[in-house]
Chain A
């Protein structure tokens, strides 16, 4: 007993040293490029890579049962104590932040080795470090400071390119994220008022006796605040603009993990701190999640810019995660704790999977951008022959995100699906209707997102090059490929070993629901006893056997045939031109027609004639879709605010002395009338 205690103590001390050392590495890495001798070498990349590697190992250890607890605490000022602690939930997020930041750093080492751009070390390191701080902060001031540091450093990364469009995207981002922070602050104040403490642990201890209205307020405020960061519709407007504007490795981090900090915050508030919920919480989440995933994927489908496709698809995936969280809450309110844990597992599993495959896809898009200087699909094509590895990794990412076996996206979406279908267990009739409807939304989303990524991969990587840049592209730097390869392997591993992966999220799920999740083997999952089970490895085996059988059939059974070699699809005409290919816009046309009530498309065809009806000189086609949410919601709000501001302008005379006079008048007023 004594000995065990000692070992624990030594272990704790060593892990603390490891954490401090990693943090120092990140900080040192921010300043490393200032040293002239190592500026042009790869050495500065080593700092964040080593730091995130060590923290990743630590996160993994926490996921598999290393006791967490407080890791750092410093009283700086009265009312301001920096306090960090780690539990299963934090450990899980530390792990995925580490994996992505490690891969992104390795990728950057290759990305910035050629070309005129320079790696933004200081911002990158501060950004990653602040994300770690967000998921480990254990009181309100620490959390808010970390949260703001994360928002501001990512703002500067978004505007790094320095052109007009990225400045606009950055402005929208910083406005939206601060509106979100305002909600979060109010939420913390509400909690502080009824619990009397700024510490998360004390809030949790007092949560059982919270009045119902406080719990409602915390739920709604955290949904608005953290939903903004996560990109839930209708709070998503910044996301498709800001994510593509950042450098690709940073986009990978923003889409892969930064929006997950929003989910972390929401889960921390509504699962670990306030523990109980009425039924409508879950229903609200399922409805919002369903809307987010359908609209997200629909808009993703209409985009021609790969990075914007990926950004919209992040909204879709956040929707899927919220579907999982919603059904978890629904089950919790009904008292089905095992099912609640199952749904939470699905959500956390998808958090991890989305981080991996979205990170992979953004890195892939970055390679395309680096090589061809464009991410517009209409100018790409045929890249798979010139960049085979990038093509392969992008394909892996596409398959994963389309939820096809044997990759990871399939497992987590399947789990989400199962948990939604199990919603019929819920006693209330509304839940019985809403939960399967959420399942239907998820099914539609899966199909559309598969179509979306067939388009993204097919138009960009297959066919013939559509532009000079595309035909002269070269394979990415080996380090970039390594960065992508790690994520691709993880995508496959997450798909083949769902049992191992769900064991990994078990600690986080335990923090969320207080229930250990499910019985698993390392390669298969069993749900609700005998309700259903899944073994992706067997699916893969079946697929391989089927493919082998087909091959054998073709080669040996069906007999010999004459082999003829010619261009495919050329209909007898030699010399196919790249302009004869299906374009990205054409590919998305059928869906645009089916969903025209949602897209409200507008088209503009201009024809200039040589001679009126018959001889056409040129035709231009311009199609666009309407962003319904922005039109219905934001345009009205902004016009109201604009009108109000116009009226307030009278106060702003431009005279400094007058402004100071306002202050003096206020002071005198308060002095006289306050007491």
Chain B
């Protein structure tokens, strides 16, 4: 019982860290810092999985944690930084709305999620907070995608959303079946690769990596 209590507070602590690192992305001005925030986000996620794996004693969870660590905290951020270097763009994030406003909206999103998920779904897993936090992370990730102009920041938003999804699945069932996790991870790697190439191509064709230039493609 004692052990579970410790685990609960630890898990809550880490997942709040995940939420904060996501919210922090709203205020960052440089794309590189966004990548760093994402790396922190993924590190916390894998830490959370490792701790749970240690407590529950499930080999499958260790594997999931190792995979998360390897792909999301190491490989994907590496690709992202390389793409940013290759693009040689200004390193400004260039959001549509001001940082202050986006912080406020993130806050509203979090409270909205808490308000609507406070009851109804009773989580059989280990903490009552993780599900709400994960949904909030998904929402904020989507919000980041909406408010940013650069293709690369949209990729980061998508990745954050995926972290949120992973957390949600994890909080409900202690992780999805291995093959699905593998599939999702592979998808993520591909998305980063392909979008990296796309971003460079968009930059080449439109002489800018702002996605609003794509409006001219409309028939």
Chain B residues closer than 8 Å to A664, beta-carbon distance: 139, 142-143, 146
Interface 9-mer from A65-73, A86-94, A147-155, A652-660 = A652-660
The chain A residue with its CB closest to the CB of B148 is A657
Complex contact A77–B179 (CB within 8 A) = yes
Complex contact A77–B215 (CB within 8 A) = no
A650 to chain B, nearest CB (A): 12
A619 contacts the other chain (Cβ, under 8 Å)?
Answer: no
- Knowing A660-B146, A671-B116, say if A654 contacts B139 (CB, 8 Å): no
Complex contact B112–A672 (CB within 8 A) = yes
Complex contact A77–B177 (CB within 8 A) = yes
- Knowing A657-B146, A657-B147, say if A675 contacts B116 (CB, 8 Å): yes
Chain A residues closer than 8 Å to B177, beta-carbon distance: 77-78
Chain A residues closer than 8 Å to B179, beta-carbon distance: 76-77
The chain B residue with its CB closest to the CB of A664 is B142
The chain B residue with its CB closest to the CB of A656 is B211
The chain A residue with its CB closest to the CB of B144 is A660
Complex contact A657–B211 (CB within 8 A) = yes
B187 contacts the other chain (Cβ, under 8 Å)?
Answer: no
B40 contacts the other chain (Cβ, under 8 Å)?
Answer: no
A278 contacts the other chain (Cβ, under 8 Å)?
Answer: no
B88 contacts the other chain (Cβ, under 8 Å)?
Answer: no
A663 contacts the other chain (Cβ, under 8 Å)?
Answer: yes
Chain A residues closer than 8 Å to B180, beta-carbon distance: 77
CA distance A664 to B214 in the complex (A): 21
The chain A residue with its CB closest to the CB of B151 is A656
A661 contacts the other chain (Cβ, under 8 Å)?
Answer: yes
Complex contact A671–B112 (CB within 8 A) = yes
Complex contact A668–B112 (CB within 8 A) = yes
Chain A residues closer than 8 Å to B148, beta-carbon distance: 657
B205 to chain A, nearest CB (A): 15
B3 contacts the other chain (Cβ, under 8 Å)?
Answer: no
The chain A residue with its CB closest to the CB of B138 is A667
B185 to chain A, nearest CB (A): 16
The chain A residue with its CB closest to the CB of B142 is A664
Complex contact A657–B96 (CB within 8 A) = yes
- Knowing A671-B113, A671-B116, A675-B120, say if A655 contacts B146 (CB, 8 Å): no
Complex contact A656–B116 (CB within 8 A) = no
CA distance A657 to B214 in the complex (A): 11
Complex contact A672–B145 (CB within 8 A) = no
CA distance A672 to B111 in the complex (A): 12
CA distance A652 to B216 in the complex (A): 12
- Knowing A77-B180, A78-B177, A657-B96, say if A652 contacts B146 (CB, 8 Å): no
B residues 88-136 near A (Cβ < 8 Å) are 96, 109, 112-113, 116-117, 120, 135
Chain B residues closer than 8 Å to A652, beta-carbon distance: 218
Complex contact B217–A654 (CB within 8 A) = yes
Complex contact A661–B146 (CB within 8 A) = yes
The chain B residue with its CB closest to the CB of A671 is B116
CA distance A653 to B212 in the complex (A): 11
CA distance A77 to B113 in the complex (A): 31
A residues 564-581 near B (Cβ < 8 Å) are none
CA distance A661 to B139 in the complex (A): 11
B residues 58-112 near A (Cβ < 8 Å) are 96, 109, 112
B154 contacts the other chain (Cβ, under 8 Å)?
Answer: yes
Chain A residues closer than 8 Å to B116, beta-carbon distance: 671-672, 675
Chain B residues closer than 8 Å to A77, beta-carbon distance: 177, 179-180
B residues 156-198 near A (Cβ < 8 Å) are 177, 179-180
CA distance A667 to B139 in the complex (A): 8
B residues 27-68 near A (Cβ < 8 Å) are none
Interface secondary structure of A, over-half rule:
helix
CA distance A652 to B218 in the complex (A): 9
A residues 220-258 near B (Cβ < 8 Å) are none
CA distance A657 to B211 in the complex (A): 8
Chain A CB within 10 Å, residue with most, of B96, B146, B214, B216: B146
CA distance A671 to B179 in the complex (A): 29
A493 to chain B, nearest CB (A): 49
Chain A residues closer than 8 Å to B147, beta-carbon distance: 657
Complex contact B146–A654 (CB within 8 A) = no
- Knowing A668-B112, A671-B116, A672-B116, say if A655 contacts B212 (CB, 8 Å): yes
CA distance A77 to B179 in the complex (A): 8
CA distance A672 to B120 in the complex (A): 12
Chain B CB within 10 Å, residue with most, of A76, A77, A656, A675: A656
Chain B residues closer than 8 Å to A653, beta-carbon distance: 215, 218
Complex contact B142–A656 (CB within 8 A) = no
Chain A residues closer than 8 Å to B212, beta-carbon distance: 655-657
The chain A residue with its CB closest to the CB of B135 is A671
Complex contact A654–B215 (CB within 8 A) = yes
Chain B residues closer than 8 Å to A655, beta-carbon distance: 211-212, 214-215
Cross-chain contact of B142 among A78, A654, A660, A672 (Cβ < 8 A) = A660
A397 to chain B, nearest CB (A): 47
The chain A residue with its CB closest to the CB of B179 is A77
Chain B CB within 10 Å, residue with most, of A78, A653, A657: A657
Complex contact B120–A654 (CB within 8 A) = no
The chain B residue with its CB closest to the CB of A78 is B177
CA distance A655 to B217 in the complex (A): 10
Chain B residues closer than 8 Å to A675, beta-carbon distance: 116, 120
The chain B residue with its CB closest to the CB of A76 is B179
Instruction: Flag A61-85 by CB within 8 Å of B: 1 or 0 each.
Output: 0000000000000001110000000
Complex contact B214–A654 (CB within 8 A) = yes
Chain B residues closer than 8 Å to A656, beta-carbon distance: 154, 211-212, 214
A301 to chain B, nearest CB (A): 41
Chain A residues closer than 8 Å to B112, beta-carbon distance: 668, 671-672
The chain A residue with its CB closest to the CB of B116 is A671
Chain B residues closer than 8 Å to A668, beta-carbon distance: 109, 112, 139
Chain B residues closer than 8 Å to A661, beta-carbon distance: 146
The chain A residue with its CB closest to the CB of B216 is A654
CA distance A675 to B121 in the complex (A): 10
A675 to chain B, nearest CB (A): 5
A268 to chain B, nearest CB (A): 30
Chain B residues closer than 8 Å to A654, beta-carbon distance: 214-218
Instruction: Flag B199-219 by CB within 8 Å of A: 1 or 0 each.
Output: 000000000000110111110
Instruction: Flag A487-499 by CB within 8 Å of B: 1 or 0 each.
Output: 0000000000000
B63 to chain A, nearest CB (A): 18
CA distance A332 to B218 in the complex (A): 57
Chain B CB within 10 Å, residue with most, of A77, A78, A652, A654: A654
Complex contact B113–A663 (CB within 8 A) = no
CA distance A652 to B139 in the complex (A): 23
CA distance A349 to B62 in the complex (A): 59
CA distance A664 to B141 in the complex (A): 10
CA distance A664 to B179 in the complex (A): 28
| New A-B contacts (7) at CB < 8 Å, excluding given A664-B146, A671-B113, A675-B120 | A652-B218, A653-B218, A654-B218, A655-B215, A657-B148, A667-B139, A671-B116
Q: List 9 A-B contacts (CB under 8 A).
A: A76-B179, A652-B218, A655-B214, A657-B212, A664-B139, A667-B139, A668-B139, A671-B116, A675-B116
A interface residues with partner B (beta carbon < 8 Å): 76-78, 652-657, 660-661, 663-664, 667-668, 671-672, 675
The 4 closest A-B pairs by CB, nearest first: A654-B218, A654-B215, A660-B146, A656-B211
